[in-house]
Structure 1
Amino acid sequence: MKKTPAELTVMKSLAFLAVVFQSALLYIMNHHSPHAEEAIMMGMLFHFVKFSAPVFVFLVGFHMAQQKEAIHYRRYVSHKWTELMIPYIVWSFVYFILFSSHLHASEVMKQLVLGEAAPHLWYVVMIIQFHLLILIIVPFFRWLDQKKYWKSFIIVSSIIYIGFITFISPIVQSESYIHYVDRTFLAYFFYFCLGGVAAYTLPSWRKFVIQAIPLNTFLFLSLFIVVGYELFISQSIFSIDLTEITYLKPSMVLYVTSEIFLLYGLSITIVQTKSRLYTALRFIGRYTYGAYIGHVFFLHMFAPMIPTTMYSMLQAVILFLITTIASIGICYMVHATPLSLLLIGQTREHRTLSIPTISKLKKGIPS
């Protein structure tokens, strides 16, 4: 497999931070009843960081397109089971205890299959489906590359996807089992295809993303106004429900796609600066999956400690910062223990102190 471009690590970290901020905003909205003007601001910010799941799907498409060697399907699925599903199952049981400790076995199985143990776990159920289809996806990508059909492919894919989303948009708002289409790979396949196109046409992709920034910025701001307007006309400003904001409507597809382009350009810029921000995002990028599935636990642990007398927006920001630091920090510590595979899906990292470091420590010890 080719080396992962540095900007993808930055994008992954930004997507993780967006998830945590969404969770913080949702918690404050649902538990602290902010004033109407604060609720409007939080709704706008929620839209602004709504790119997280599509970006993760984009990155999976990119990485899968980088598969150049022969695929050993059983070995690949076993690796993904260890990396993704074992931590998913472990954390699901943590959330069963945290949110609903008196579930019957049938209800537990249903929530495991559908990713309902916590609000963010649906993503794992959805993304594993792409990995299970690797024997179809990778040969198809290779065929597209041989025929140089990438432009036609992405145009046709976008038309099909917009049509599909327009069709299922009313369904995902229903109460029937059909609305679970929102956690199938079909509901996000366009972002996956976009990631595949980016991987195979990387130099042209980077050039296009950078050149499109001026026009795309204007498009993004226009779409930001559109999706915000749709939110506020569909709900009362005194009872805004952020859980009703869905990826699966045409305006959000256009908005999120525009934001992915901007984020890619921003990520390239961050990489080029080689600043402390880049160093921090690289560090966060090492633990995004474990921190992603565990962050809701830490959020609920620290949320009651935040004073409710301050502005709701400030509460959300503080909760976001504490949850991010705790999630990444715990993952870093767990990575050095035998629990690493169970909790964050990574093999144990054996850390040792260098000889110079040990020497320095000894100097500080009184003899």
Structure 2
Amino acid sequence: MIKKTPAELSVMKSLAFLAVVFQSALLYVMNDRPPHAEEAIMISILFQVVKFSAPVFVFLVGFHIAQQNEAIHYARYMAHKWRELIIPYITWSSIYFVFSHPHAFEAMKQLLLGEAAPHLWYVVMIIQFHLLIVAIVPFFRWLNEKKYWKLFIIVSAITYMGFITFISPVVQSKSYVHYVDRTFLSYFFYFGLGGMAAYTLPAWRKFVIRAIPLNTFLFLSLFIFVGYELFTSQSIFSIDLTTITYLRPSMVLYVTSEIFLLYGLSITIVQTKSLLYTALRFVSRYTYGAYIGHVFFLSMFVSIIPTTMYSLLQAVMLFAMTTIASIGMCYMIHATPFSVLFIGQARERRTISIPVFSKPKKGIPS
């Protein structure tokens, strides 16, 4: 049994998904349609702003796993995750294989390492946390019983920063060492942070809101520093957005600060009960299927985006069209027998209510 998910987590999940799609659109425009230098700088700044998606998703998985409050039947749990995560992953990987035509051995390698498309590494990484759930949940419960959460986060932060500092120089190498970026060890701090948030939710919410003034200043300072690292690593005429990797000490601090801000923003959006909140709640129902399938739609729309317009406008149009198509596809497929195959969710039975109009009786005003 899992506790009811706080509303702000649905908002965060949707924001993380939208950030992924925007990143993909910006990367495509930057790499395949080289913009002018001034446009490249603007695109780089926006890319840096939305570079929080994967750590936020890991944070959310840590939160959800920490909500397990009953004994876990491991085989049943993994069977559920097979349907929810792995089957759609295999389906969409197979679709991406149609375009890349890999040999059988290469296809298997790409499937195991999440290389069928640029964004699928995340699935390979996140499933490792689920595989370890029988060890994680008892450990989280022990931390909560002993009131060790603060100590755990401090020790985890120091250990994680040391680990990232050690592996950072080799992460972008072409050797097999490069694949350390898709192991759970490379993101365990965000996972632990999510676990702590789940167990200490009232105190966590209070801390996040109270820390907004100081954290905003910290975030802006880190934003400037990370941007400085990006623009001084190469010429502004040859900016490479792939250098903004999560596995750098400065990015760990930056993304952690951004997670706190996003959580506070999500609480604010929930409290408004606005149309934006309603839309984000709807999007959150389909984020996984839309996430793994969005590159397919992005590649479809690329050819119809005029190259004569500003590069940033191209990216925004590509983002909007891809988002609508990805979520729309998931919504439609959710009502078909192929729902599990493509989005990892059981078929949704929908009924359309037809209003009945009766003829008004005489003497009674209509």
Find the aligned partners of 2:235 and 2:303 in 1 and give their Cα distance: 27
Counterpart residue type for residue 17 of structure 2: F
Find out whether 1:168 has 2:161 as its counterpart: no
Find out whether 1:292 has 2:288 as its counterpart: no
Find out whether 1:36 has 2:37 as its counterpart: yes
Find the aligned partners of 1:155 and 1:245 in 2 and give their Cα distance: 25
Counterpart residue type for residue 75 of structure 2: R
Correspondence list, 1:184-199, <5 A: 184-199=183-198
Aligned length: 356
Residues 298-335 of structure 1: CA distance to partner in whole angstroms, max 9, x if unpaired?
00001110111110000000100000000001100000
Find the aligned partners of 1:159 and 1:32 in 2 and give their Cα distance: 41
- Where does residue 111 of structure 1 map in the other structure? 110
C-alpha deviation, 1:56, in angstroms: 0.2
Find the aligned partners of 1:45 and 1:167 in 2 and give their Cα distance: 28
C-alpha deviation, 1:97, in angstroms: 1.2
- Where does residue 318 of structure 2 map in the other structure? 319
Find the aligned partners of 2:16 and 2:227 in 1 and give their Cα distance: 20
- Where does residue 64 of structure 1 map in the other structure? 65
Residues 53-83 of structure 1: CA distance to partner in whole angstroms, max 9, x if unpaired?
0000000000000000110000000100110
SS at 1:2's partner residue?
A: coil
- Where does residue 306 of structure 2 map in the other structure? 307
- Where does residue 233 of structure 2 map in the other structure? 234
Counterpart residue type for residue 3 of structure 1: K
Residues 187-222 of structure 1: CA distance to partner in whole angstroms, max 9, x if unpaired?
000000000000000000000000000000000000
Find out whether 1:11 has 2:12 as its counterpart: yes
User: Unaligned stretches of 5+ in structure 1?
Assistant: 361-367
Find the aligned partners of 2:174 and 2:288 in 1 and give their Cα distance: 30
- Where does residue 364 of structure 2 map in the other structure? none
Q: TM-score, normalised by structure 1?
A: 0.96
User: Unaligned stretches of 5+ in structure 2?
Assistant: 358-366
Find the aligned partners of 2:116 and 2:53 in 1 and give their Cα distance: 19
Correspondence list, 1:1-367, <5 A: 1-98=2-99, 100-101=100-101, 103-356=102-355, 359=356
Find the aligned partners of 2:234 and 2:110 in 1 and give their Cα distance: 29
C-alpha deviation, 1:355, in angstroms: 3.4
Find the aligned partners of 2:193 and 2:81 in 1 and give their Cα distance: 22
SS at 1:238's partner residue?
A: helix
SS at 2:236's partner residue?
A: coil
Q: Percent identity?
A: 81
C-alpha deviation, 1:96, in angstroms: 1.2
Find the aligned partners of 1:48 and 1:57 in 2 and give their Cα distance: 18
C-alpha deviation, 1:30, in angstroms: 1.3
Question: Structure 1 residues 166-175 or 274-283, which shifts more?
Answer: 166-175
Counterpart residue type for residue 106 of structure 1: F
Question: Structure 1 residues 234-243 or 120-129, which shifts more?
Answer: 234-243
- Where does residue 364 of structure 1 map in the other structure? none
C-alpha deviation, 1:138, in angstroms: 0.2
Counterpart residue type for residue 62 of structure 2: G
Find the aligned partners of 1:355 and 1:113 in 2 and give their Cα distance: 48
C-alpha deviation, 1:243, in angstroms: 1.9
Counterpart residue type for residue 140 of structure 1: F
C-alpha deviation, 1:241, in angstroms: 1.4
Counterpart residue type for residue 169 of structure 2: P
SS at 1:355's partner residue?
A: coil
C-alpha deviation, 1:244, in angstroms: 2.3
Find the aligned partners of 1:218 and 1:245 in 2 and give their Cα distance: 21
The RMSD of aligned alpha carbons is 0.7
